[in-house]
Chains A and B, each alone.
Chain A
Amino acid sequence: MSAEYKTVFASIDDYRKGGVHCLNEDPKRYVFSNLYEVAATNAPYDRIVVAKNLDYTIEAARAEGTSDWMVCAHDEFVVAMDYDVEVHFVKLADDSIVDEDKDGFVTLQGNPDGQKMGRILMTRGHQALLPEKTAYRFHSNKPATLMLQSILGEETIEKWADICLK
């Protein structure tokens, strides 16, 4: 008989952090945080950088209710890390409103002008493409954790001292 294994995932309401044990080292060099903790302790849809490599980012966000519409000059990706989240897409009537030279997401004021493209219903582990120059917004009925692959922009939040082990 083959052994049964239990895969341990975590969620915004049930996570157990690890940590850094140092012999001769500064724990801050490991920039250690937890995606679920960041989502649990921040405002809905604040996109907080948890990992950064030059200007590339991985961001954590709490999904809860409906977000503003956002758009980005380059592709981004989102992963639903625990609970159900919807992503809605709109094809912009005029995509010249997207500044090609600007990295990172930009929040749009109000509803974007354009055609509805549809929506993706995601749950734990699902990854979706947020295509370049396409408006998107998230919706979640209860608090959930998002992980985003993007590039640092003017609206991305960095608060390392608040989120990292010291």
Chain B
Amino acid sequence: MNTNLKPTIDNTQTGYESFKIGNFTFDRDEYFAYISCPNGEHMMSIDAFLRAMMRDVAWGFFYGTVAFDDVFGTTNHYGNVDVFIGSQHAEWTKAERDYLENFKSDELMDVFKALLSDWTNEGFDPFAAPQETGNAWGRNNGNEDKLISRQREVAKRMVGIPGDAPLRSDENGYPVNRAFADVDQSQPVIEAEPGFEGELHAYNFFAFLSRSDVTWNPSIVSVVRQSLFCPTTEEYILPIDHGNDRVEWFIQISDEIVWDIKDGKTSAPLATVTMRAGDVSAQPADIRHQGQSPKRSMLLVWENGSPEIMDMIKDGTVPIVPVTF
């Protein structure tokens, strides 16, 4: 078999660095990212690659598989992570072209962060909707390192409670997004009896979402033990296919998202789920989903972070669907 068929990379021309971990090499040029491993090469458009990489890094490899596309991705084992080419694609595995290597999470994270820092040019925010940011193309030109250390809001009980994650406002740098200018910004009226001031808590959840400055990046607004309300605002395409290792739920709050569903092991298309305001849908633990949102929309992602689930994933007893009826 011929090997090393990737186009010629000349870092002296583009100013980018190449990155290696284990037997994987990552290169970029003006338009593409190239991933090489002992079984071959794979290339992706650099804007899609950087948007996916940004999420993989920001979410600490997330729950289960973050598929950058049908071929390349990572699978989180919480402490260690698989990096793979073709392992979740029926034709690649049939041809025995698939390749997988496991890395310690922190070592892989260091390499991915260095890559993001070097490959992201000034003015391109991989978290932003395409209409709200510059482009990823061209030769090495500055960076957007502040994005790599960006922290999402993570409530311990509920956002807005004194001492917990703060609400978003004009003053703290979260203006209402252009697509949500019509969303009511009123706050609930709290009438506490004397002696109970500060004990009743409420806030405008939809207004909080209308001020999200990023897309496809959940924060946590309320917590019942390990039940996490992780709402997010979505526009254009989820930059990854998410193959969760547990059931997750979507509740569409506003507008519409069309989810492309594929088989988690083979990448075969399975279904399309169209969600409109008020729709609720489970995502089985054996599929991958990728959302498409024609207008910026509000989505409540509902996750279960229980250690109990971690044990069930290890023993292979985690439920694939949440209920049968």
Q: Which A residues form the contact surface with B (CB < 8 A)?
A: 2-10, 15-25, 27-37, 50-54, 56, 58, 74-77, 79, 81, 89, 91, 115-129, 131, 145, 147, 149-151, 158, 160-161, 164
B325-A28 in contact (CB<8A): yes
CB-contact partner of A129 in B178, B202, B225, B322, under 8 A: B202
Given contacts A77-B224, A126-B204, is CB(A24)–CB(B188) below 8 Å? no
A25-B270 in contact (CB<8A): yes
A117-B180 in contact (CB<8A): no
CB-contact partner of B277 in A9, A23, A128, A158, under 8 A: A9
Q: Is B214 engaged at the interface, CB distance under 8 Å to the other chain?
A: no
Within 8 A of A (CB), among B142-175: 157-158, 161
- The complex places the Cα of A125 from the Cα of B302 at a distance, in Å, of 17
A21-B272 in contact (CB<8A): yes
Per-position 1/0 for B159-202, Cβ under 8 A of A: 00100000000000000001111111011111111011001111
Q: Is B227 engaged at the interface, CB distance under 8 Å to the other chain?
A: yes
- The complex places the Cα of A51 from the Cα of B205 at a distance, in Å, of 19
Q: Is B115 engaged at the interface, CB distance under 8 Å to the other chain?
A: no
Per-position 1/0 for B245-285, Cβ under 8 A of A: 01111011111100001000000111111111111111110
Q: Is B226 engaged at the interface, CB distance under 8 Å to the other chain?
A: yes
Q: Is B117 engaged at the interface, CB distance under 8 Å to the other chain?
A: no
Given contacts A5-B178, A8-B255, A117-B200, is CB(A56)–CB(B278) below 8 Å? no
A54-B309 in contact (CB<8A): yes
A8-B254 in contact (CB<8A): yes
CB-contact partner of B196 in A29, A34, A118, A125, under 8 A: A118
Given contacts A54-B308, A128-B202, A150-B224, is CB(A36)–CB(B271) below 8 Å? no
Q: Is B206 engaged at the interface, CB distance under 8 Å to the other chain?
A: yes
CB-contact partner of B191 in A10, A31, A34, A118, under 8 A: A118
Q: Which B residues form the contact surface with A (CB < 8 A)?
A: 157-158, 161, 178-184, 186-193, 195-196, 199-207, 210, 221-227, 229, 246-249, 251-256, 261, 268-284, 295-296, 298, 302-304, 306, 308-309, 319, 321-325
A23-B270 in contact (CB<8A): yes
**B-side contacts of A116, CB under 8 Å:** 193
Given contacts A2-B178, A10-B276, A21-B272, is CB(A56)–CB(B204) below 8 Å? no
B224-A56 in contact (CB<8A): yes
- The complex places the Cα of A107 from the Cα of B279 at a distance, in Å, of 28
For the complex with contacts A75-B157, A129-B161, 12 further pairs of A-B residues with Cβ separation under 8 Å are A5-B179, A7-B298, A24-B268, A34-B276, A53-B246, A58-B302, A117-B200, A120-B200, A125-B183, A125-B205, A129-B202, A149-B222
A51-B229 in contact (CB<8A): no
**B-side contacts of A56, CB under 8 Å:** 224-227, 304
B158-A125 in contact (CB<8A): no
B226-A129 in contact (CB<8A): no
A18-B271 in contact (CB<8A): no
Q: What residue in chain B is nearest A79 (Cβ atoms)?
A: B205
**A-side contacts of B157, CB under 8 Å:** 75, 129
**A-side contacts of B222, CB under 8 Å:** 77, 127, 129, 149
Q: What residue in chain B is nearest A78 (Cβ atoms)?
A: B202
B143 to chain A, nearest CB (A): 28
CB-contact partner of A122 in B182, B188, B248, under 8 A: B188
- The complex places the Cα of A17 from the Cα of B295 at a distance, in Å, of 17
**B-side contacts of A120, CB under 8 Å:** 188-191, 200, 202
- The complex places the Cα of A107 from the Cα of B239 at a distance, in Å, of 45
CB-contact partner of A35 in B191, B206, B268, B278, under 8 A: B278
Q: What residue in chain B is nearest A81 (Cβ atoms)?
A: B278
**A-side contacts of B251, CB under 8 Å:** 35, 50-51, 58, 147
B281-A32 in contact (CB<8A): yes
- The complex places the Cα of A18 from the Cα of B278 at a distance, in Å, of 9
B203-A127 in contact (CB<8A): yes
A125 to chain B, nearest CB (A): 3
Given contacts A51-B322, A164-B325, is CB(A7)–CB(B182) below 8 Å? yes
A118-B192 in contact (CB<8A): yes
B255 to chain A, nearest CB (A): 5
